[in-house]
Structure 1
């Protein structure tokens, strides 16, 4: 079984997610952020629209080597990218060490990188490193042509096409086979996945319902503050950062213990 998905960003602002689904597409990859300087303004609407119709969606972050990994992750969090991420690693993204540094930065804040767009041409440019441990390799190979995604895919060899050829000791799990597919009246990037919808959902980390995903986000916000930046109303630590509820509770316990110690001292100083 082969499923088809689309890749969208602010270049497709206003596109109807429900119409994409009605044309038979099974999932969405949508841009969340880039480097440490761009929060894609279309992501919140795309996310809400996909969740409203239970269409699997995963956000992606375009990696920029000149930006610190932690700062890039903060940009993702600031746009509510969610608990699962796809890394777009190509021009200006750096080498494989930069890639793994970014993965670790996502891991540090509890975001799971489930997909990696690292096309073969860029893999060769950065020295053909080992990709065997890269999560969810997404390849690209455009055979040419335009029209409906299914027709382009079939003409490119379908499930035996060049986009499925392994490289870097890794097997592509998704193939971006066109940037000219006719979808809801636009020319879009189209992707193929060999498997059923349950396999796809497991791959992208979307095994939660939209309601569960929102509940998880709510728990994260309550524990870590909006975008993981703490709550200003709870005060600040010695570095000037907002406190989380756990930080504030720990501080309160310390204060109470100090007060109790002072009370015991005062009681001891009072003679009967």
Structure 2
């Protein structure tokens, strides 16, 4: 059995997670942070959307060798990256020693590195080191063309394609086989996993700690109301539905603006009264 997933970031801002799932994709890899200077603004939205429909999701950190490992992990944590991580280790990442230093820094902070995007071209560039202990190797090999992910995967050789060829004494567990797959109206990176959904979730784990999951649920409840049905104490719209805090605030702003206009009208009338 082969499952398909997508790799997204702020470059795909606005993409529909529910549509990704509806098109048959089984998981999402989404960017959380980069170096010690960037928290991806789309991560929390993607995370909430995936959690709302029980679509497995894991965040990734783009490694930069010129940033201290501990500082990179702090950036991840500040972005609410989760208990499990994928390291994106390619251009700018440094040598294999930099990779292991970053893995150690994540582990020291209580974050498990479960996937390692370390493409063969970069592995060769840094001297073809041993990768036998690298957690969850993710390989890259792109065929020509764009279009449906299943068609691209088949054209690239499918379950016998070059992306599954071992390197560095490690067997890739995930193959990123395209950067031009048509998904939910956008062109995205697409991945393949040879296994079932239970094996996939065992690999990437639950991306949030229980505390983070509860915090996310609390935020959802406050913004949308229990079960996303609004709050009855805030009133109802013209269709009889409960208002959310955003709906109520919008109504309040409209009321205040109307009162302000009335006050200005009264001031004008008072100013021009004869003495």
TM-score range, shorter chain: 0.7 to 0.9
- Is 2:45 the counterpart of 1:50? no
**Measured at CA, do residues 214 and 68 of structure 1 come closer, stay the same or move farther in structure 2, by a change above 3 Å?**
closer
Deviations 1:58-105 (A, max 9, x none): 000000000000000000000000000000000000000000000000
- 2:140 match: 140
Look up the SS of the partner of 2:87 in the other structure: strand
In the alignment, does 2:230 pair up with 1:217? no
Match of 1:86 in 2: 86
Q: CA deviation at 1:214?
A: 5.2
Counterparts of 1:120-199 in structure 2, within 5 Å, are 120-199=120-199
SS in structure 1 at match of 2:202: helix
Report the number of matched residues: 215
What is the CA–CA distance in structure 2 between the aligned matches of 1:112 and 1:2, rounded to whole Å?
A: 25
Counterpart in 2 of 1:200? Answer: 200
- What TM-score do you get using the length of structure 1 for normalisation? 0.77
Corresponding position: 1:111 with 2:108: no
Shift of 1:215: 2.2
For structure 1, the 5+ residue unaligned runs are: 221-272
CA distance in 2, matches of 1:89, 1:214: 24
Give the CA deviation at 1:219: 9.0
Provide the alpha-carbon RMSD of the alignment: 1.4
CA distance in structure 2 between the aligned counterparts of 1:203 and 1:214, rounded to whole angstroms: 16
Q: TM-score normalized by structure 2?
A: 0.76
1:20 alignment partner in structure 2:
20
**Which SS does the other structure have where 1:190 is aligned?**
strand
Question: Which of 1 and 2 has greater Rg?
Answer: 2
Name 1:10's counterpart in structure 2.
10
- Cα offset, 1:218, TM superposition: 6.9
Structure 1 Cα separation of the partners of residues 128 and 114 of structure 2: 21
* CA distance 1:48–1:121, change in 2 (3 Å): same
Gapped regions of structure 2 (runs ≥ 5): 216-275
3-state DSSP of counterpart to 2:199: helix
Aligned to 1:248: none
Q: CA deviation at 1:216?
A: 3.7
Secondary structure at the aligned position of 2:152 is classed as helix
